[in-house]
Structure 1
Amino acid sequence: METSTRTLTRPSISVDIFSDVVCPWCYIGKRRFETGFAQIDDDLGVDFNITYHAYQLDPTAAPGVATPVREAYAKKFGGPERADEILSHVTNAAAEDGITFHMDQALRANTLLAHRMIWLAGQPGSPVAQAAMKERLMQAYFTDGEHVGTPEVLASCAAELGFDHDDIEEFLSSDRGVAEVQAELEDAHHNGITAVPTYVFNREWAVPGAQDADTFEKVLRKMAANALGAAGTA
């Protein structure tokens, strides 16, 4: 008996994650999302296509210039005391999810180059997964106190993961990925995304914020059930 192509094709669910490298809740949300995804220990019969997209908390930040994050927060949120409260809160929240923040060392920077690196990791043939690149750059910013707006730091991080150091420096000196990252930023704006992290499922359902792992698990299971139901009635 001939089997139809439809019965051999697994439903696919897209998960588009809009976030910034210097956003503390994006790092916390990434860890919680991955924990929730790992809690799905059985095959749901669907494929999840997870893609990270660019968003800049401060697109006006001067390229190549680093500002101590406490100073940047004090300017944005109304003074040093309020900045210290926020930094302490996110540091404690991160620790609960196994992430170490050294916000006293963090250097706020323009993240356009970092987003180009994440875009590059998502291209066919990349030796590094997008999630791994995102993780390493966030670690560089939040934990290691490195200036993630410089080609030198980005090339070193990428080389640790499997990219060629010289190839990355050449890439960053070119205009490759610039138009694509700008398109992602515009896409976020046009779709009404004004805060990150935001998780968009199948380009139609958005879940904002660093939800807890169990919530992410429930959402993923619900999306899988909906996709299987739709496939069964097609």
Structure 2
Amino acid sequence: MPHSVTVQIVVDVICAHSYPGYTRFARAADRLRGEGLEIAVEFLPFELAPGASAEGRPLLDVLEQTFGPGAVTGALAFAERAVGEGLRFEYATAIATGTFEAHRLIADAARQNKAEPMTERLFRAHFTDGLHIGDPAVLAELAAEVGVATGSVPPAAVRARLDRVRRHGITGVPVFLIEDLPPLTGSQTETTVLTALRQAASRKEHHDR
């Protein structure tokens, strides 16, 4: 088995489809890591609402005002389905906010090899814990919880990465870029991700011979 498979994941931590999508990826990756495959993960930032205020507003109110009452019904139905995967979407307490500083925190975490636990914690903070992940004080607490030192990544570096993602034509998330395989877009099943990771590993092993 090759030494490592590289995966780039494009997500936003306020994206309802990104949370289960990333969770399924993480479960598949854990299985293969248990078999001895090293999987290097890089997160690429994407803002669902570029330039959105970080003040924070009740998410259900924002969904209704932006997309109409059907969006609230759809979100609550999505939350019910997520329970089957062990995820809790507490929309009644979720807070809509900009995510620029959350992406900056993930970039800080990446420099300390903690991007995966930091990203998972941000998803859970937003969707389950009702925390305002646009609030610097909340982000500082979450960083401390995961053991991430902050402030090493300048804002300009995050803006450059956001621009890079846009230039690549990515307009929705999640997207999983696994080695040279075609991109996996949207919230894939764990089986699909597992198959893609195995395929990438097999290709790399064959190429290295």
Q: TM-score, normalised by structure 1?
A: 0.82
- SS state of the match for residue 199, structure 1? strand
CA deviation after TM superposition for structure 1 residue 204, in Å: 5.8
Q: Choose from 19, 25, 42 the match for 2:35.
A: 42
Residue of structure 2 in register with 1:22 after alignment: 14
Residue of structure 2 in register with 1:6 after alignment: none
Matched, 1:67 2:52: no
Output the CA distance in 2 between the equivalents of 1:182 and 1:205. 26
- Larger Rg, first or second structure (1 or 2): 1
Uncovered stretches (5+) of structure 2, i.e. residues with no partner: none
Q: TM-score, normalised by structure 2?
A: 0.92
Output the CA distance in 2 between the equivalents of 1:176 and 1:118. 10
- SS state of the match for residue 108, structure 2? helix
Task: List structure 1 segments (4+ residues) > 3 angstroms apart after TM superposition.
Answer: none
CA deviation after TM superposition for structure 1 residue 11, in Å: 5.0
Taking structure 1 as reference, are residues 163 and 43 closer, same or farther at Cα in structure 2, changes over 3 Å only?
closer
Residue of structure 2 in register with 1:139 after alignment: 124
Q: Output aligned runs, 1:1-234, within 5 Å.
A: 10-40=2-32, 41-44=34-37, 47-62=38-53, 64-77=54-67, 79-80=68-69, 82-123=70-111, 126=112, 129-163=114-148, 168=150, 171=151, 176-202=153-179, 205-232=182-209
Range 128-137 or range 99-108, more displaced: 128-137
Taking structure 1 as reference, are residues 223 and 203 closer, same or farther at Cα in structure 2, changes over 3 Å only?
closer
Let me know the Cα RMSD of the aligned residues. 1.9
Output the CA distance in 2 between the equivalents of 1:188 and 1:203. 17
CA deviation after TM superposition for structure 1 residue 35, in Å: 1.5
Query: Does the 8 A contact of 1:120 with 1:177 survive in 2?
Result: no
Question: 1:110-164: CA deviations, max 9, x gaps?
Answer: 10000000000001xx2x6111111111111111111110110000111112246
CA deviation after TM superposition for structure 1 residue 203, in Å: 5.9
